[in-house]
Amino acid sequence: MQAIGVAEALGLAPELKRLTPPAPYRWLAPWGPAAPTSSITSPWPEIVIASGRQAIPYARKIKRASGGQTFVAVLQNPKVNPAQFDLVWAPEHDRISGPNILSTLTAPNRITAETLSKAASELRQRYTALPAKKIAVVLGGPNKVYDFSSDNMRTLARSLKNLAEREDAGLLITTSRRTTAEATRVLREELGAVPHDIYDPANDPAEENPYPGMLGIADAVIVTCDSHNMVGEATVTGKPVYVVELEGGSPKFRRFLDALYINNVTRQFDGLLETWSYAPLNATQEIAVAIAAAYSANKK
């Protein structure tokens, strides 16, 4: 999705190549050779935007096979020499640098002011029964870095209930596929009669995810800290974003969250609601501009 977002920001209609190389090629990525495949052949494209460890060998192959004519941009730390590519984007918390490396605080995504406005317009009918003030709540789940137990959910749900009652606000909630069924049950139980709406992708797989519309409608966003993407996407709104810190963490996550706090983009959720302003973060546009400039320079 990151690569698609950047391509769209460039005004391109990308041809998608989803690569699942067999063993041993997938074990050797990103350092090893590309697995033979009929989907990566000439004529070579003008621009390649590669994302993910498995894509790196193919990005190298295309660069080499095109005689250097294909402009290759890589999203995320390639874990190999960045000089092999024309431009590399990596988040600031990865702490890599070089003459062809661009770093931003948040990651690229497909959220734009236009998509937020359009999605909000299409979604308003769903939330007409809720109070005028609305708070989006974006919930993740346990992963390799963070724990998010049912007890954690109970504590958070009680804070959300108190906040909604105090602010006379409606809660626009979305869980994720990592949110456990038990945690979701606890959430519903604790919120009780507080005005709220819960989208559960586990129970409603066919229903369109209201997530972009939620971000567009809400006056503020509360998001759990377990996903760089969820937190980063919320900051595209320019609205107050509160981060729910969970048990666990890693040095990278700590650097990421602290940078957002220091820059007054987000604040740690403490059960209260305040208002502040910041320039919406738009890493997607920054990366697209950098690719366009580097591409033009290479063609001179």
| Average pLDDT over all residues of the chain | 95
Kind and range of the H or E run holding 4? helix 2-9
Q: What is the mean pLDDT of residues 130-153?
A: 97
The per-residue b/e assignment along 212-234, b for 16 or more CB within 10 angstroms, e otherwise, is bbbbbbbebbbbbbbbbebbbbb
pLDDT band at residue 205 using 50, 70 and 90 as cut-offs? low
pLDDT band at residue 206 using 50, 70 and 90 as cut-offs? low
Segment 36-68, tens digit of pLDDT: 999 999 999 999 999 999 999 999 999 999 999
Segment 116-133, tens digit of pLDDT: 999 999 999 999 999 999
Segment 75-105, tens digit of pLDDT: 999 999 999 999 999 999 999 999 999 999 9
Segment 7-19, tens digit of pLDDT: 999 999 999 999 8
Q: Would the pLDDT of 256 be above 90?
A: yes
Peptide bond into 30 cis (omega under 30): yes
Q: How many Cβ atoms sit within 10 Å of the Cβ of residue 40?
A: 18
Q: What is the mean pLDDT of residues 201-214?
A: 81
Segment 171-197, tens digit of pLDDT: 999 999 999 999 999 999 999 999 999
Structural domains in the chain plus CATH codes: 2-109+285-299 (no CATH), 113-268 (3.40.50.2000)
Query: What is the structure's pLDDT at 201?
Result: 86
Q: What is the mean pLDDT of residues 254-275?
A: 96
Query: How far are the Cα atoms of 225, 238, 242, 281, 295 from residue 278, in angstroms, in the given order?
Result: 19, 6, 13, 9, 31
Query: What is the structure's pLDDT at 203?
Result: 77
Q: What is the mean pLDDT of residues 245-258?
A: 96
Query: What is the structure's pLDDT at 209?
Result: 83
244 phi and psi angles, rounded to 5 deg: -90, 110
Query: What is the structure's pLDDT at 230?
Result: 96
Secondary structure (3-state) at 269: coil
